Amino acid sequence: MEYAIKQIINDFESFVKSKSFCCIGARRAQAENNLLYFPSMHPIEDISNVYLFLEDFACNQIKNKRFYSAFYSAVVFFENKKIASEDDFENFLWEVLKELNSIDSQKYQWASGYSRNTRDDNFAFSIAEEAFFIVGLHPFAHRLSRNFKCPALVFNHHEIFSALRLSGHFDKYKAVIRKNEMHIQGSVNRQLSDFGKNQKLRNMPVLTKIFLSKIWFSKRR
């Protein structure tokens, strides 16, 4: 078991370093040892442990440290989850997020300043009152930079991109990623959009028709 966990992490880190990966932010986070990993062996049955990992990331790595100048993300692997298509992965993705939200809503309010409505431009997923956007990877992703050997969700703290915008570096960051996308894929990921224009949703490597028709994140007490 321990060997398998180390192997999946090694494979992911090799993937991030590879020529098929476009995100310079993830490479920087890896270089700074700011990628935190959690392997989930039983996707839905293990969701409480996934939540505890993400809650700890939000409360201890973000609230207590605030790495304003750093890139940092939490990566959850679902090695034992079998999927057959991009739509299959999308359904699984939102099943996981519903379960995480169900747990989180018992303890916390939604992240301040962000919408729980998936149709809003300022939507962000919330864990422990911190805002995240989520990138999904899986074996059936048609974008090479999102095609990984097993399903995985990368939770990126929203303030990383707010800080890039405030520092004036966001446009350069975006341009480099799009240049890499063109080199790797021959086209720009049409689901990537500018900051503040539903990028938390559109960074998903799958079509948005399903989740745009559903709002699972209801108002909290």
Confidence grade of residue 119 (pLDDT, cut at 50, 70, 90)? confident
Region of poorest pLDDT, from 126-135, 139-148, 164-173? 164-173
Q: What's the pLDDT tens digit per position in 164-177?
A: 667 666 666 666 66
Residue 202 pLDDT grade (very low, low, confident, very high; cuts 50, 70, 90): very low
Contact (Cβ atoms closer than 8 angstroms) between residue 158 and residue 77: no
- Answer with the residue of higher pLDDT: 221 or 124: 124
Query: Is the pLDDT reported for residue 1 higher than 60?
Result: no
Residue 88 contacts residue 95 (beta carbons within 8 Å): no
CB atoms inside a 10 Å sphere around CB 31 = 12
Q: Which residue has the tokens 């303890």?
A: 107
Six-digit token string for 115: 């919408």
Q: Is the pLDDT score of 191 beyond 90?
A: no
pLDDT value of position 211: 45
Q: Look up residue 71 and give its two tokens.
A: 């890139």
Range of lowest pLDDT (103-117, 154-168, 171-185): 171-185
Quick one: pLDDT at residue 210?
41
Q: What is the pLDDT of residue 47?
A: 94
| Residue 191 burial (10 A CB sphere; 0-12, 13-18, 19+) | middle
Amino acid letter, residue 200: K
Residue 206, pLDDT score: 37
What is the pLDDT, as a whole number, of residue 182? Answer: 60
> Is the separation of the CB atoms in 130 and 114 below 8 Å?
no
- Nearest CA-CA partner of 22 in 186, 202, 212, 134: 186
> Strand runs (DSSP E) across the chain, as ranges?
35-39, 73-77, 125-127, 130-137, 152-157
Tell me the pLDDT tens digit for each residue of 29-59. 777 787 899 999 776 778 999 999 999 999 9
How many whole angstroms separate alpha carbon 63 and alpha carbon 193? Answer: 27
Cα–Cα dist 3/162, whole Å: 38
Closest among 128, 126, 146 to 137, alpha carbons compared: 146
Instruction: Categorise residue 94: left if φ over 0, alpha if ψ from -120 to 50, beta otherwise.
Output: alpha
Residue 128 has pLDDT above 90, yes or no: yes
Find where tokens 């063109």 sit.
182
Q: What is the C-alpha to C-alpha distance for residues 200 and 27, in angstroms, rounded to an integer?
A: 19
pLDDT at residue 213, rounded to an integer: 41
Give 164-168 contacts, CB < 8 A, sequence gap 24+: 164/195, 165/195
